[in-house]
């Protein structure tokens, strides 16, 4: 059996060592050095990490990242679930509806950015015109709050369909007998939802929250193309900050430390979320 396990796992382990393990170890090694391209690396221990954690720009982008993640989860999860409940269970409309829901998910992420840039730009977009007709001022490249909410709305637009699809599939998997039993007991709609639907959807919801959380932390292309972190640094999320350090920064040691802190934060957050969510409703 041992040999079989090894043989079957080997391709995956080889692939992951190329695409994950070796790069991770390299970043770890870089992060412990002062490293400018062309000069000899100097070992400095954890100093890069200490500097990163003192860097106000890094901390502020971390804060923005958490806020962003929280906001989109609070909007997308309830909204996705509600829409899934509203969708018809069967019928001829299901095919087209699923395809429609799938479309935003399959648009390349930078094209999502382009769509919204074309849509929201002050000179060529539809949004500013609509807002000004309604009597509001809207300028995505000048007002930080407008840029921020445009990015949040863009993410909601982009990813709520995923949550809906997941919940919809989860709902389809609940046997009808449960609902019949509930009707026999003349349970109220709210009680049926609370005691049958929600518990049965628990794992699907965990998946949805985790996926959205991970990807919200990785989000790069869309906000980068929409505002490039601006105006100022008002929408500079963690990935934009990090890749700016990696691409534009000179000290690769420092940018590696930033990358690793970033990775660790994502890991911890997902781990905590997973643990908490599995515990909920276990009794």
Residue 252 makes contact with another protein by CB under 8 A: yes
Of the two residues 38 and 108, which places its CB atom closer to another protein in the complex? 108
C-beta of residue 167 within 8 angstroms of C-beta of residue 80: yes
Give min distance, CB of 206 to another protein, in A. Answer: 9
Q: What is the x/- site pattern for another protein, positions 111-150, by CB under 8 A?
A: x--xxx-xx---xxxx--x---------------------
Rounded distance, CA 108 to CA 68, Å?
21
* Neighbouring residues of 91: CB distance < 8 A, sequence distance ≥ 6: none
Site residues for another protein, window 37-56 (CB under 8 A)? Answer: none
Sequence-ordered list of residues with C-beta below 8 angstroms from that of 52, at least 6 positions apart, any chain = 58, 254, 257, 258, 261
Closest contact distance (angstroms) between CB of 111 and another protein is: 4
CA atoms of 68 and 64, how far apart (whole Å): 6
Pick between residue 143 and residue 246 the one whose CB is nearest to another protein. Answer: 246
Residue 277 found at the interface with another protein (CB under 8 A) = no
Based on the shown chain and the rule CB under 8 A, indicate whether residue 223 belongs to the binding site for another protein: no
In the complex, least distance from residue 19 CB atom to another protein, rounded to whole angstroms: 4
Residue 109 to residues 9, 137, 159, 273, Cα–Cα distance (Å):
32, 28, 11, 25
- Using CB under 8 A as the binding rule, the residues of this chain from 53 to 112 that contact another protein are 83, 86-91, 95, 97-111
With binding defined as CB under 8 A, does residue 254 bind another protein? Answer: no
- Buried b / exposed e over 65-79, threshold 16 CB at 10 Å, is beebbebbbebbbee
CB of 44: closest distance to another protein in angstroms? 18
The residues pairing with 34 across neighbouring beta strands, listed in sequence order, are 42
* 178 neighbors 200 (Cβ within 8 angstroms): yes
Closer residue to another protein (CB): 41 or 104 = 104
Is residue 181 a contact point for another protein (CB under 8 A)? no
Q: Which of 81, 170, 236, 254 binds another protein (CB under 8 A)?
A: 170
């Amino acid at each position: 059996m041992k040999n079989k396990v090894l043989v079957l796992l080997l391709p995956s382990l080889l692939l992951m060592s190329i695409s994950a393990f070796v790069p991770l170890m390299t970043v770890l090694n870089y992060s412990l050095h002062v490293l400018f391209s062309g000069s000899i690396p100097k070992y400095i221990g954890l100093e890069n990490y200490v500097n990163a954690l003192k860097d106000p720009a890094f901390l502020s982008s971390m804060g923005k990242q958490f806020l962003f993640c929280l906001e989109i989860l609070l909007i997308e999860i309830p909204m996705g679930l509600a829409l899934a409940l509203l969708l018809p269970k069967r019928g001829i409309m299901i095919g087209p509806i699923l395809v429609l829901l799938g479309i935003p998910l399959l648009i390349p992420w930078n094209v999502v950015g382009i769509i919204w840039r074309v849509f929201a730009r002050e000179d060529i977009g539809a949004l500013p015109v609509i807002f000004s007709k309604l009597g509001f001022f809207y300028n995505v490249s000048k007002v930080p709050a407008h840029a921020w909410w445009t990015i949040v709305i863009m993410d909601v637009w982009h990813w709520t369909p995923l949550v809906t699809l997941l919940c919809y599939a989860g709902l389809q998997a609940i046997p009808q007998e449960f609902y019949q039993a509930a009707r026999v007991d003349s349970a109220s709609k709210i009680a049926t939802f609370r005691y049958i639907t929600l518990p049965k959807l628990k794992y699907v919801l965990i998946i949805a929250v985790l996926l959205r959380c991970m990807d919200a932390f990785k989000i790069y292309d869309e906000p980068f193309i929409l505002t490039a972190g601006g105006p100022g640094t008002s929408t500079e999320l963690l990935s934009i900050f990090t890749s700016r350090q990696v691409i534009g920064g000179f000290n690769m040691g420092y940018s590696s430390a930033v990358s690793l802190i970033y990775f660790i934060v994502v890991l911890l957050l997902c781990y905590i979320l997973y643990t908490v969510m599995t515990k909920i409703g276990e009794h």
